[in-house]
DNA sequence: GTTGAGCGTT
């Protein structure tokens, strides 16, 4: 052995990955102990990646790497060998001949381009030591950053927030779809309030009907990833024969609507997750509510969160929806609690499924209380939530404090400080422990 | 000198 006895990274196999066949920019990425590579691990280093390929040393042809359940499988029984693996990114342009018809190509693309414009993004909770340069450097992994403005007071003291702007919509979407840990702080990146309703958005989410019970979120993700980058999947449990898939590119989502696809031998139908019913019971809803089931079905959140499938790829669809990035499934307009806190807490409390994690155990994976060691004592009387999903009041104004924080359970005063839900490091019912949560920020010096 | 929810002296 070597003299790094206290350093156990060599129990993981590292594989060399690059964006192209030039390995000078390659990154070595650790596999899991079973030899597979988590897609989320790949995405963490290569945002937007949806798979891997490699050039076969003998045939010299490019071969794809098998992706199943969010895991990339080594090309042979011998493992990953010492080959260079190349990231696969979703094709920018579309896929099917029908979509290249005159009606759908130029005109439609033009329309979309006009709609899908970048806006400034606000970054909240930046570390005090941030500089324009460091922030630019951090966000450049999502694409070209054309502007960084950190806000300071009259004395030049940094106020802990700022604005950034990307060169492309895709970069913006990638940044909005992820959580950001900058120098150990969870930083919220959002569309500024001043831009709310100004930045036009297209639905990124589709409704997938006729799902069979054996279709997991990972199945849907794997299948639909071939059409474009999937940022979120939600399959309600218990089984309800439908699911939702959210794409990074709204054009991909739109192009799939109206189509039938075969997954696991069954025909599913893809349709718009667009508004279908109007909610009268909840004054907090915006004018329209979305999808077949409002929040319960249509809502989603961080993928790869707090469940056994083991990884968190930092997708933050909950945030996206709240901020109008994806108009489908948005919460009430006057949703007072910082959405990131809700997301983090629900995730860590084992609600990852409700928020759309790959396990999709939904509200039912939370059986009668917060995780051990949690400070979330306000949950204790809500054990019925573990049986039949959220109480009806979730969608109504008399809910436990979603609106004004008057009732105590949800207002900020009752949230544990600093460490979030007990700081147990794991994702509630999940086992992977890779869910950092949003509210883990600690005071810094 | 301190801080940790917020929304931009363009």
- Cα A350 to its chain centre, rounded Å, is 16
For residue A158, pLDDT over 80 is answered with: yes
Lowest mean pLDDT among A4-13, A132-141, A259-268, A296-305: A296-305
- Give the mean pLDDT of A417-441: 35
State the maximum Cα–Cα separation within chain A, in Å, rounded to a whole number: 68
Separation of CA A158 and C1' B3 in angstroms?
Answer: 10
A405 Cβ contacts chain B strand, under 7 Å: no
For residue A269, pLDDT over 90 is answered with: yes
B chain positions with any atom within 7 Å of a protein CB: 2-10
Peptide bond into A175 cis (omega under 30): no
Distances A370 to A25, A342, A374, A419, A429 between C-alpha atoms, Å: 44, 14, 6, 15, 9
For residue A307, pLDDT over 90 is answered with: no
Which pLDDT value is given to residue A445?
Answer: 52
Nucleotide nearest to A196 (CA to C1'): B7
A186 Cβ contacts chain B strand, under 7 Å: no
For residue A428, pLDDT over 50 is answered with: no
For residue A380, pLDDT over 50 is answered with: no
In terms of pTM, does the model score above 0.75?
no
Which pLDDT value is given to residue A120?
Answer: 94
Digit-coded pLDDT (tens) for A349-374: 223 222 333 333 222 222 223 333 33
For chain A, what is the total number of helices (H) and then of strands (E)?
10, 18
Nucleotide nearest to A337 (CA to C1'): B5
Nucleotide nearest to A127 (CA to C1'): B4
Which pLDDT value is given to residue A233?
Answer: 93
A145 Cβ contacts chain B strand, under 7 Å: no
Nucleotide nearest to A160 (CA to C1'): B4
For residue A164, pLDDT over 80 is answered with: yes
- Give the mean pLDDT of A125-139: 96
Which pLDDT value is given to residue A427?
Answer: 31
A57 Cβ contacts chain B strand, under 7 Å: no
From residues 111-130 of A, list those within 7 angstroms of strand B by Cβ: 119-120, 122, 124-128
Of A422, A305, A444, A328, the residue nearest A375 (C-alpha): A422
A308 Cβ contacts chain B strand, under 7 Å: no
Separation of CA A125 and C1' B10 in angstroms?
Answer: 21
Which residues is A268 bridged to in the sheet?
Answer: A261
Separation of CA A137 and C1' B9 in angstroms?
Answer: 27
By C-alpha to C1' distance, B9 is nearest to: A154
Residue A348 vs residue A40, higher pLDDT: A40
Separation of CA A131 and C1' B4 in angstroms?
Answer: 17
Lowest mean pLDDT among A85-99, A144-158, A227-241, A243-257: A85-99
Residue A220 vs residue A427, higher pLDDT: A220
Nucleotide nearest to A124 (CA to C1'): B6
- Give the mean pLDDT of A313-323: 45
Which residues is A208 bridged to in the sheet?
Answer: A243, A270
Which pLDDT value is given to residue A43?
Answer: 77
Which pLDDT value is given to residue A441?
Answer: 63
Which pLDDT value is given to residue A90?
Answer: 65
By C-alpha to C1' distance, B6 is nearest to: A124
By C-alpha to C1' distance, B10 is nearest to: A149
Which pLDDT value is given to residue A276?
Answer: 52
Residue A408 vs residue A226, higher pLDDT: A226
Digit-coded pLDDT (tens) for A200-242: 767 889 999 999 999 999 999 999 999 998 988 999 999 999 9
Lowest mean pLDDT among A39-43, A276-280, A432-436: A432-436
- Cα A406 to its chain centre, rounded Å, is 30
């Amino acid at each position: 052995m070597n003299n790094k006895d206290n350093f156990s990274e060599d129990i993981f196999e590292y594989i060399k990955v690059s964006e192209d066949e030039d390995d000078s920019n390659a990154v070595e990425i650790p596999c899991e102990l079973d030899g597979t590579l988590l897609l989320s691990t790949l995405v963490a280093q290569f945002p937007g990646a949806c798979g891997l390929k490699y050039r076969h040393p003998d045939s010299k042809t490019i071969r794809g790497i098998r992706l199943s359940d969010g895991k990339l499988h080594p090309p042979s029984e011998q493992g990953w060998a010492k080959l260079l693996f190349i990231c696969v990114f979703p094709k920018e342009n579309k896929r099917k001949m029908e979509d290249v018809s005159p009606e759908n190509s130029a005109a439609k693309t033009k329309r979309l381009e006009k709609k899908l414009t970048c806006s400034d993004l606000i970054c909240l909770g930046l570390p005090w030591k941030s500089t324009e340069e460091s922030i630019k450097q951090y966000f450049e992994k999502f694409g070209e950053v054309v502007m960084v403005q950190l806000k300071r007071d009259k004395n030049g003291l940094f106020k802990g927030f700022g604005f950034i702007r990307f060169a492309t919509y895709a970069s913006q979407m990638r940044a909005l779809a992820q959580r950001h840990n900058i120098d150990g702080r969870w930083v919220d990146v959002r569309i500024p309030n001043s831009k709310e309703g100004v930045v036009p958005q297209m639905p990124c989410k589709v409704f997938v009907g006729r799902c069979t019970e054996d279709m997991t979120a990972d199945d849907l993700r794997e299948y639909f990833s071939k059409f474009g980058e999937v940022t979120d999947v939600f399959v309600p449990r218990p089984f309800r024969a439908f699911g939702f898939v959210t794409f990074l590119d709204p054009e991909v989502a739109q192009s799939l609507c109206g189509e039938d696809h075969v997954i696991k031998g069954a025909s599913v139908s893809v349709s718009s997750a667009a508004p279908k019913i109007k909610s009268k019971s909840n004054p907090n809803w915006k004018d329209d509510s979305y999808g077949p089931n409002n929040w319960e079905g249509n809502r989603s959140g961080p993928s790869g969160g707090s469940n056994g499938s083991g990884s968190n790829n930092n997708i933050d669809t909950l945030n996206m929806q709240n901020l109008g990035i994806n108009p489908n499934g948005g919460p009430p307009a006057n949703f007072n609690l910082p959405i990131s806190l809700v997301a983090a807490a629900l995730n860590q409390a084992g609600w990852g499924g409700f928020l759309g994690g790959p396990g999709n155990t939904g509200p039912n994976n939370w059986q009668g209380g917060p995780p051990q060691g949690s400070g979330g004592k306000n949950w204790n009387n809500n054990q019925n939530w573990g049986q039949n999903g959220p109480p009806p009041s979730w969608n109504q104004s008399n809910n436990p404090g979603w609106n004004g924080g008057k009732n105590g359970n949800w207002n900020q005063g009752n949230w544990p400080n600093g460490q979030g839900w007990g700081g147990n490091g794991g994702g509630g019912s999940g086992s992977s422990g890779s869910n950092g949560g949003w509210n883990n920020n600690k005071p810094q010096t």
